Amino acid sequence: MGGAVTGSGVKILGVVNVTADSFSDGGKFLDVDAALAHARKLVADGADIVDIGGESTRPGAHRVDEETEAGRVVPVIAELARAGVPVSVDTMRSGVAAAAIEAGAAYVNDVSGGRADPQMAKVVAAADLPWILMHWRPLTERAGAGPYGPEDFTHRAGQTGAYRDVVGEVSGELLAQVDSAVAAGVDPDRLILDPGLGFAKSAEHNWELLRGLPTLLGLGFPVLVGASRKRFLGSLLAEHGEDRPPAGREIATAAVSALAAAAGVWGVRVHDPAASRDAIAVAQAWTGAEGEGHG
């Protein structure tokens, strides 16, 4: 056990949301067989890791209870792990993470970066697994004061944080999250950082964070980018005042994957691995980066 999060080649995390209401695939994979079939398609299309979530974090989403969340993700994770597919569990709850790890999850992806559940760091430290710490600054009145609780990690559409220097502030807050994780016993070599595009951030914040990838990478940790089909791509591609709907954002998503790969990220989290796999292959050929290839 143990060891750094390494490996050449940009990792592709393929998304399976076992939820009723995720913005791009909500309701499609609530059934275990449908989720498994989709996960297998993601792997066939080039996903290196399948990211399974049982709770939507879209603006306005209501939190589901822990039992419901675990009941959605654990059977899917168990089956995929049995088949040898590397799985990450997308959860803010230590109880769900522990059940997912028991079922064979190899990564924990926590959109609260360890702040929604103080037990999460202990669960991850005990399992000694890679942990994706995402940035999401809560906008509740406790913002900036902390400590936060689970009820702080929800947001409303259009609600964005006030940043003067979004790259600097997100970098500083991610490093504080790293310090908390390490203080709780997590091996720093197991941490992956994610700027949390779209989580209470405006389109301009997201673009600044993408422009600022060299700064984020300069923090010394692997970086994951999750831009897939997000609203800032829909507004970039708006026509006649209407955002492009999620299904029409795939080419833009692949473009972000290519540029992120060229910048040197560890991984991208996407709904359609095939498009990003090809885009990343182009980026790696262009930059001469060593890749394992995804074909």
Active site residue 28: no
Which CB atom, from 51 or from 66, has the smaller least distance to ligand PMM?
51
SS3 at position 270: strand
Residue 177 contacts ligand PMM per CB under 6 A: no
Out of 22, 94, 171, 202, the residue judged to bind ligand PMM by CB under 6 A: 22
- Which of residues 7 and 82 has its CB atom nearest to ligand PMM in the complex? 7
Specify whether 58 is catalytic: no
At a CB cut-off of 8 Å and minimum separation 6, what does 91 contact?
53, 54, 55, 69, 73, 97, 100, 108, 109, 110
Q: Which stretch binds ligand PMM (CB under 6 A): 17-25, 180-188, 249-257, 284-292?
A: 17-25
Looking at the Cβ atoms of 9 and 195, the one nearer to ligand PMM is 195
HEC assignment per residue over 77-121: HHHHHHCCCCEEEECCCHHHHHHHHHCCCCEEEECCCCCCCCCHH
Cβ(90)–Cβ(111) below 8 Å: yes
Residue written as tokens 């090809």? 278
Question: By CB under 6 A, how many residues form the interface with ligand PMM?
Answer: 19
Which DSSP state fits 40?
H
Question: Site for ligand PMM (CB under 6 A): which residue of 109, 154, 160, 202?
Answer: 109
* The two structure tokens encoding residue 173: 């807050």
Q: Which of 201, 229, 231, 269 is catalytic?
A: 269
CB neighbours of residue 147 within 10 Å: 9
From 230, 231, 249, 277, the catalytic residue: 230
Q: Tell me the catalytic residues.
A: 230, 269
- List contacts with ligand PMM (CB under 6 A): 15, 17, 22-24, 53, 57-58, 90, 109, 111, 132, 134, 194, 196-197, 224, 226, 269
